Chain A
Amino acid sequence: MTTNATTALPIDSSTPPLHADARPGAPLSPKEAYRALCGTESAIHLFARDWWLDAAVGPDGWDVAIVGKHDRILAAMPYVVRRRWGMRILTQPALTPMLGPWLHDSGGKPAARLSSQKEAMRALIDQLPPFDHYSQTWHPDVGNWQPFYWKGFRQTTYYTYTLADLSDPDALWAGLDSKTRRAIAKAGGEHRLEVRDDLALEQLLELNRKTFGRQGLAPPYPDELVRRLDAACRARGCAKMLLAVGPDGVPQAGYYFVWDERSAYALISCADPAHRSSGANSLCLWATIQAVGRLERQYNFSGSMIESIEAYLRAFGGAQTPYFHVSKTRSRLLLAREGVLSLVGKE
C-alpha cells in the first residue's frame, strides 16, 4: 500500500471544502459529490445523509471531507461548523446521535481492510478545514480510530443498546426483564393505556417540554428543529411517532424513531413524570420495538450512559454496543478552559 494510491478529491485540494460551493462549469464540489453518493450508498447511516443535515442545520450549515479514487468516493466525513468566541468548532447537529466517518468497505482480509482504513482516514483528516475543536460521536460500526490517534485526536467509548434480530416477537418478549414485562402488561391492562401512531407531532413536543420542564429544564433543542427533521423524514417515509395515551386521552409517554435501510434509531423519548408508575414509557418502547420488527430493521436504543436510563434500557434485552466519541482541541484557550472545568468537576 502506497500513500499515493488514494488521492483526495477534489483535485484542486487548495480549495478548502468549507468554501467549495458549486460554481458554474466547475467540477462537482465535495458536497455535491457527497449528495450524489448519499442517494446510492445505503451504508451511509441516516444521520450522515445530506438531507438530514440540510434539515438539521440548513444546506449551508454543514460540509463534508471526501476521499476518492478514480472518481469513486471511498470515504467521507460530514461535519457541522459552529463558531463560538471566534473559534471554529467541527461537530454534529443537535438531535443527531452520531456522525463521523463513513468508509467504503474494501472487503478482503482484515489486514487489507485495516490498511485501506488507515489511508482513507488519514486523507479525511487532511481534508478537514482548520479548526479549534473537533467533537463527534461515531457510528458503532466504525471501531478503528487509530489513524485519528496518530493525528493527535482523543477517544472515549460510550455504549448504546441494540437489538439485531427483531424477527421473532416471542423471543423479544422472552428477552425482556420480567419487571419490564409486568410493567408493559400492567400499562395495557390496569392502566388502560393505548399506543397511538396517529397523533400530531405537537402533542409529542408538548409532552417533551413537560418531561424537561418537571426537571426545571428546557429541551436542549428547539421545537422548530424537530419539526424540520420530522418533515424531512416524513417526506421519505422513515420516521414514526408513537404515543401512549391514557383513558382520558392525554399522552403519558412518547417515542419518536427514525430509520435507514439497516437500522432504526430512537430519536426522542419522553414521558410525563406525573405518570411514571403507569408503565407508559415501557409500553411505548415495546410498541416501538415491535414496529421496528415489522420494518425488518435492527433497533438502536440510542443510549444511555446515564446510570438510571442505562438500567431501564438494558431491561429490554439488547446487546451492549460500544461506539466512539472522538475529539481534538487545538486551541490553547479551549484546552485551558477544559482544564479549569475538570478542576471544578464540570468536565
Chain B
Amino acid sequence: MKIGLKKFLGRDAPIAYLFILPNFLWVAVFTVYSVFYGFYLSFHDWNLVSPNKVFVGFNNYINIIKDPLFHKVLINTVIFTIWTVPVGMLISLLLAILLNGNIPGKNLFRSAYFFPVIAPIAAVAQVWIWIYEPTYGILNWVLNKFGIQSVAWLSDPKWAMPAVIIFSIWKGLGYNMVLYLAALQDVPRTLYEAAQIDGAGRFAQFRYVTLPGIQPATFFVLINSIIGSFQTFNQIYIMTRGGPLDATNVLAYYLYQNAFQFFKVGYGSAVAFILFGILFAFTILLWLRYIRTE
C-alpha cells in the first residue's frame, strides 16, 4: 500500500511537497482565498469595524457605475494609459534600436536610461514636484527660454494629468528598453544577412526582419504596460492626491480612497473587481489577436 502510494506520487513525493508547501500555502491564503474573499466582500456593505456585513447584492457595482466620479476616474485612467503606453513603448523601442548598434559608451547609456527604473518613486516624484514648481521650477524656465508661457503644472486641472504622464514615461522608459534590447539581440544575424542579399534596405530590414523578430517582446511589453498603467497609484498619491478637482484621480487611487480612507470595504472590493474585469478582458483580447497574427 505504502509502495503503491509512493509509485503514484513519484519518487521524491513527501519531501518535494514539503519543499513547495510554503509557496502554495502563501498563494492559497494571499492570492486564491483573497480573490474569492474579495469577490464575496464586493457584494456586501461593511466598514471593517462593524461586526456584521450587510449583503447588498449588486448594489456596490450599480452605485459605482452610477457614480459620476467613477466615470471621470475611468476616463482619466484611459487617458493616462493611452498616453503612457504607446509613447513609452515607441521611445523605448527607438532608444533600444539606436543603442543596439555599434555605439561607444553603450553600457553607460544603458545605465543612465535604467536609473529612473530603480530609483525610489517617493524620492524621484519629489524632485519632479520641484521641477514642476510654477515659479522657480526648471521646466517652466526651459519653456520660457523657448518663448512658452509658464504653466502651473501640478495645480492646474488642465496640466496635472500631462505632468503625471510625463513623469510616468520618464520613470518606466528604461524597463521596456532593457526588454527590447534583449529581444533585438535575439534576432538572428543570419536573417539580416539574407535580407541584405535579397537587396533589402535599412527600412525594409527593419520592417520585415526586426519588427517580426521582436513581436513576442512587444506583446509582452504591451500587456505588461497596460496592466501596470491601469494600476498606477504611487505617483498619483505622492504628486497630486488625485487632484486638482480629481483631474488625476485614477482607478487605483479611487479604490484606495474608498477602501482605505472612507472604509467602504465592499465598495472598494467592487472597484477592484471592475478593474480586474477590464484588465482580464484586455489581456484575453490581446492574446486572441496575437495568436491570430502568429
- To the question of whether A and B form a pair in one complex, the answer is no
The residues of B with any CB-CB pair to A shorter than 8 Å are: none
